[in-house]
């Protein structure tokens, strides 16, 4: 027994010593550059879900939670993180605009680590979870859909959907109360991507009808998948039937796959007509007379899923944060309302041609994206031994060695809250986007060749929704007795609380929409 215990102890000691040596080598490989050292990696499941614990784990949502503070504490706009388990791994985090530009434009030196995107490949290979020739193929097929002609369609469809909401859902109600604003923004965004992206027109009334052969609606299936996708990733398939929540996740994945398959079959069987939406571009590549490389059904479904997620969740969450910020900052909301009145002086419905005139709407939208970027960390990796430049608050620089295989994270909140680029970064100031602003320090759509293909789609939809809603309704925070004595800061923290997901997700935003007197405003 003693020999067995001694053997176990010896093996354990050797394992610890090996881990310690690996940890020390990893630290030396980056020149012992400043940063935090933890037992658990921030990319490990356990390290990501534990609360923040110094020396143990960075904690969940640590990028957005710390923003620029961690860079400030270590004194550099490039910091390192070295973890010991499950294996010693070095990561560098970037909040320096020039260094980020170097990384995002040097694709051969700093490729996208597609293995980190397994969570987005459940339904098939796609434009986000790919690199190299495969990515080029998907991008070539998708790019024609994101044209000015399509953007006008996006605007027009959004206006129809908002008008349907105002006339047939909210009607003449003077006050609309929601316990969570995403209950409003999620269906709006889904209807827009459905109509403008996939030719799937859904009215607010139709959405309540369950199609034959389905157990849950398209909207609910997509919402469950995007909300609980990480459960699908970490829970084995055989264990998904153990709880009600995991059973719902399994059902939602099955239902969404069925819906997407039906979309493909229905469009292929329909009469051929000229359309300019994304779905048409994807399907056109598979026509027999097309010179493009063909997509498998799995690739079709994989890319449909990615564009559905990107086209509805990102918009819905950003608008939710936008309305929360405007509800908290009534002066900024009034400034926006007065600007909309000036542009639409005759009270007419805004058109696509008005979009460039709605500068205050764009400023509010951009300031929300600066403060609440949908994606908080953009991963890259080093394909070779190289170095990157670190800068401190005094403007001093030093080269940090970056060995092959080093994880690199473009820290979007760190960049967006960096006072070297943004004055008073914690404050909601849309006006900063009405003058010259640091474009290289604004990355809600990523940068370089991998920048968001649907940026204009996203902006067009968002500006149309924001403009139409604020022109008709005043937004306020819902008053709740249990929070009656809270300070403004406590209210702000509560209303703008977020959690990680496929995109940064608002926890709960209870709002009230009050109908304005259209004739007098």
Residue ranges at the known binding site for heme: 452
Residue from 29, 30, 54, 58 nearest 376 by CA? 58
Bond into 360 cis (ω within 30): no
Q: Give start and end residues of each alpha helix (H) in 169-228.
A: 182-192, 198, 218-227
Residues 294, 299, 301, CA angle at the centre, nearest 5°? Answer: 125
| HSE, side-chain direction, 13 A CA sphere, residue 490 | 6
DSSP characters for 364-399? HHHHHHHHS-S-SEEEEE-SSSEEEEEE-TT--EEE
Instruction: Round to whole Å and give the CA distance between 272 and 412.
Output: 43
* Binding site residue list: 452
Strands 473-477 and 386-391: unpaired
Backbone φ/ψ region at 72: left (φ over 0), alpha (ψ -120 to 50), beta: alpha
Written as six digits, the tokens of 229 are 């996708």
DSSP per position, 312-343: HHHHHHHHHHHHHHHHH-HHHHHHHHHHHHHH
Number of other CB atoms surrounding residue 273 within 10 Å: 7
DSSP string, 20-57: HHHHHHHHHHTTT-SEEEEEE-TTSHHHHHSPPBTTTB
Distance CA 189, CA 158 (A): 9
The residue behind tokens 């394992």 is 15
């Amino acid at each position: 027994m003693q020999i067995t215990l001694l053997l176990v102890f010896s093996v354990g000691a050797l394992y610890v010593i090996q881990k310690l040596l690996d940890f020390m080598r990893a630290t030396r490989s980056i020149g012992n550059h400043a940063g935090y050292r933890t037992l658990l990696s921030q990319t490990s499941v356990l390290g990501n879900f534990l609360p923040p614990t110094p020396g143990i784990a960075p904690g969940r949502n640590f990028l957005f939670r710390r923003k620029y503070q961690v860079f400030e504490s270590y004194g550099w706009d490039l910091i390192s993180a070295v973890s010991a388990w499950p294996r010693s791994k070095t990561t560098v985090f970037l909040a320096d605009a020039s260094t980020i530009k170097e990384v995002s434009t040097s694709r051969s030196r700093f490729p996208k680590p597609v293995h980190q995107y397994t969570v987005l490949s459940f339904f098939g290979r796609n434009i986000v979870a790919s690199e190299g020739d495969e990515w080029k193929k998907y991008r070539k097929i998708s790019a024609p859909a994101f044209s000015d002609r399509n953007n006008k369609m996006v605007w027009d469809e959004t206006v129809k959907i908002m008008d349907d909401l105002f006339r047939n859902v909210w009607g003449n109600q003077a006050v609309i109360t929601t316990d969570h604003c995403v209950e409003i923004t999620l269906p709006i965004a889904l209807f827009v991507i459905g109509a403008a992206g996939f030719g799937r027109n859904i009215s607010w009334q139709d959405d309540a009808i369950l199609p034959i052969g389905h157990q849950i609606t398209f909207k609910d299936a997509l919402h469950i998948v995007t909300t609980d996708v990480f459960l699908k990733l970490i829970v084995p398939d055989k264990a998904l039937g153990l709880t009600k929540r995991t059973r719902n996740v399994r059902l939602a994945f099955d239902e969404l796959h069925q819906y997407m398959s039906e979309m493909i079959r229905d469009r292929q069987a329909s009469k051929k007509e000229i359309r300019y939406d994304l779905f048409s571009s994807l399907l056109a590549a598979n026509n027999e007379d097309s010179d493009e490389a063909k997509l498998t059904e799995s690739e079709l479904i994989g890319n449909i899923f990615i564009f559905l997620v990107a086209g509805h969740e990102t918009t819905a969450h950003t608008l939710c944060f936008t309305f929360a910020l405007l509800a908290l900052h009534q002066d900024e909301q009034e400034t926006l309302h007065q600007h909309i009145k000036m542009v639409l002086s005759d009270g007419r419905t805004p058109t696509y041609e008005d979009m460039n005139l709605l500068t205050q709407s764009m400023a509010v939208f951009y300031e929300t994206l600066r403060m609440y970027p949908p994606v908080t960390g953009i991963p890259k990796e080093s394909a070779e031994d190289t170095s990157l430049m670190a800068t401190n608050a005094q403007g001093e620089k030093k080269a940090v060695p970056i060995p092959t295989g080093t994880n690199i994270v473009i820290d979007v909140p760190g960049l967006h809250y960096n006072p070297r680029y943004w004055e008073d970064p914690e404050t909601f100031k849309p006006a900063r986007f009405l003058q010259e602003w640091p474009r290289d320090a604004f990355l809600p759509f990523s940068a370089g060749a991998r920048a968001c293909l649907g940026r204009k789609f996203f902006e067009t939809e968002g500006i149309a929704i924001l403009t139409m809603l604020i022109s008709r309704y005043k937004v306020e925070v819902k008053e709740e007795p249990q929070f009656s004595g809270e300070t403004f800061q406590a209210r702000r923290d509560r209303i703008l609380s977020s959690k990680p997901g496929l995109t940064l997700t608002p926890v709960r935003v209870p709002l009230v929409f009050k109908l304005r007197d259209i004739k007098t405003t």
